[in-house]
Chain A
Amino acid sequence: MTARSAILEKLTQAAKIRAGEGNKIPNRPDFCVMERDVMDLTSLCNQFETVISKVNGEVIRTSEENLVICIQQLLQDKQVKCLLLPSAHEFQETLAKSVEEILLYDREIEQWKDQLFNNIDASITSTLGGIAETGSLVLWPSLEEPRLMSLVPPIHIAILHKKDIQPTFWHFMKRHNWSQGMPTNALLISGPSKTADIEQTLAYGVHGPKELIVLLVE
């Protein structure tokens, strides 16, 4: 007998006995505790900013028109020399003037691991949205914006649109119908990478980004 059938048989037998004893399969639990009072977008935005700021996430509010200028200013402030952008990014040309070098994530990771890990100062990614209650960004990495873009560079700049903020993770996945299908990788990011493994002293940037900057487009 394979391990699979041995395990499943033990479980199925026990489940059968349980059902036979009249223990009905419970109904789906009631998720009403996950509901929240309705909040307008501005309050959600404020909540998002308050919560993510507490874990060292930086929020810069801007508008669609000022977004590029805002990024340019940011790159200058953070003294970013080498910037990682998704392949075929709309700001590629405009931002080229603000930094020494722009790299596009257009090759498989195996071809440029060293460069990706060692040479890049910052990356810019989009987001699918945000979660107010936990101050989280929702990312679905894609062909254009692969997984490591939000992880390897020391500074991660994420663009979040105000309209895409939901009260909780539960609301977010319902709204976007996630149960119908998930991508190979989906992420919630809530602040820069951190650890407290040395005597509970908080230290940022242990493996992932040391800084997370959210450009909140209103």
Chain B
Amino acid sequence: MSLSQGKNTFQSRSRAAIEDPKLRANFLSAMDGLMSKRDQAFEDKAQLERLRILGAQVRQNALVKLPELLVELETKLTQKGVQVHWAQSPEEAVDIIKAISLNVGAKNIIKGKSMVSEEIHLNEKMAEIGVRCLESDLGEYIIQLAKETPSHIVMPAIHKNTAEIADLLHEKTGIERKEDAIYMTEQARLQLRKNFMAADIGLSGVNFAVAETGTLCLVENEGNGRLSTTVPKTHIAIMGIEKVVEKLEDVTPLLSLLTRSATGQAITTYFNMISGPRKENELDGPESVHLVLLDHGRTQMYQDDELLETLRCIRCAACMNHCPVYTRVGGHAYGFTYPGPIGKILMPHLEGLDETQALPTASSLCGACAEVCPVKIPIPDLLVRLREESNNENRQTSRVKGAGVKRHGIEPIIWSMWRWWHQGEKRYNFMTSMMAQFRFLQPKTLSPWTHYRSLPKLAKKTFHQQMKERQVRINRQAENLKATSKGEKL
């Protein structure tokens, strides 16, 4: 195998995660909880299926019309005084946000949860120009204090248990060490309130953007998203270009699917629909609102009918909650912003297959992810597609960045031999019957399989041989029968 055996690979990180019993226990219990909550939230499975079909249609419909819808969204938002910016790369997005910050003389940014801001590594980039970004979602706040990245796209601090968080908050913020989630939540509220008041800019993500009305929708439970988008004088929203939907009513099935798939909630505490900055006479809300539209590999997926389906994602995380691999290795092992099944089909487009080649291979293709996906993304098929792209001989013609990265070494030769072996009846039967005949030569170990498992024993006779001999016996019996009956007649 042509896998790099370096220290910081997916393989090494996942191995380390598997050997960490505390981490595995944290993920196991969290994912079990999330799976059962989702299951309870969708009592009526036939209704769920109909809703999933509608969800997938609404997203697919929006993607087919994406260029027009983006222009419509921009027009509607601009009419209401929202400034729309476009960025092809994370660098461009960061530059836009830096420019806005410099323009308003910002020192502090308070952030609502935004995976796109993680994608562009905003916090560290803003620190370069002396602007401090503070996460206000409790989970994000915790991992920011721990100088970590989210291990889950909905529950960023899910890899930590209460005791670990108690240690962290005690050490970093000086509060009393109490293993009490309610106490710690109250302390975080007090610590963060001052920061909402002092922030110059509030930054948020976007769950859905409605072209028809020019509306940015945010889904949240804590209220930090509302505070971030209401208290500071400037609000910057950032989203991937795929997040737009055509009509306002399109958000209703998606919202219902999103919250139930994610956390089993019928709805989150807040569904916040923003359609513009503070109007004259209004007493609160940001005076200026900016929307940053980010490409970062999304137009690459858009070029291909099959890969396009990746863009239907509404970031509910049900795929990772139900993934037997994610449950065992956790989010950090993946090494990229989006972990789990969706990460495996998304990150290769964002970072290139050359950087992410292990991701599409890290799946047994069990299909649990596609089964729960609220917008019916065929994740296993897309994983296979990316495996094909990794082996693509014609890397120039492929639309996927980094395609053909694995087209070297012995693997393609092995598969050519495999093909030759299975193409002909005689050679196949010769080889398999030889294997059966010389089964005593079968090795006892075949790494890495036998590291954890014994090898099954080759049968004395292959199925082909047994069926052939059986046919011979049946034919002989038939002949004998014919001969006997002939004899009787004589």
Contact = CB atoms under 8 A, between A and B. Distances in A.
A109 B66 contact: no
Interface string A52-65: 00010000000000
Contacts of A183: 275
B274 interface: yes
A78 interface: no
Interface residues of A, number: 77
Contacts of A113: 197, 231
B295 to A, nearest CB: 5
Contacts of B101: none
Contacts of A11: 66-67, 70, 241, 299, 302
A207 B189 contact: yes
B249 interface: yes
Interface in B77-125: 80, 86-88, 92
B411 interface: no
Given A109-B283, A170-B249, A207 B268 contact: no
Contacts of B65: 15, 25
B213 A182 contact: yes
Contacts of A51: 266
A179 B249 CA distance: 8
B269 A109 contact: no
B255 A169 contact: yes
A184 B282 contact: yes
B43 interface: no
B152 to A, nearest CB: 10
Contact of B230 (A14, A148, A192): A148
Contacts of B80: 184
Contacts of A133: 266
Interface in A16-59: 18, 23, 25-26, 28-31, 33-34, 51, 55
A181 B213 contact: yes
Contacts of B197: 113-114, 117
A134 interface: yes
Contacts of B138: 195, 197-198, 206
B157 A197 contact: yes
A46 B423 CA distance: 68
A201 interface: yes
Contact of A188 (B54, B137, B270): B270
Interface stretch (B3-11, B220-228, B413-421, B455-463): B220-228
B226 A151 contact: yes
Interface stretch (A2-10, A90-98, A119-127, A157-165): A2-10
A110 B196 CA distance: 12
Interface of A: 2-4, 6-8, 10-12, 14-15, 18, 23, 25-26, 28-31, 33-34, 51, 55, 105-110, 113-114, 117, 133-136, 141, 143, 146-148, 151-152, 168-170, 173-174, 178-179, 181-201, 203, 205-209
Interface of B: 26, 30, 33-34, 47, 50-51, 53-54, 57-58, 60-61, 64-67, 70-71, 80, 86-88, 92, 136-139, 142, 155-158, 160-162, 165, 181-182, 184-186, 188-189, 192-193, 196-197, 212-215, 221-224, 226-227, 230-231, 233, 241, 247-249, 252-253, 255-256, 263, 265-279, 281-285, 293, 295, 299, 302-303, 305
Given A34-B252, A136-B267, 8 more contacts: A7-B241, A117-B193, A191-B269, A193-B223, A196-B221, A205-B185, A208-B223, A208-B226
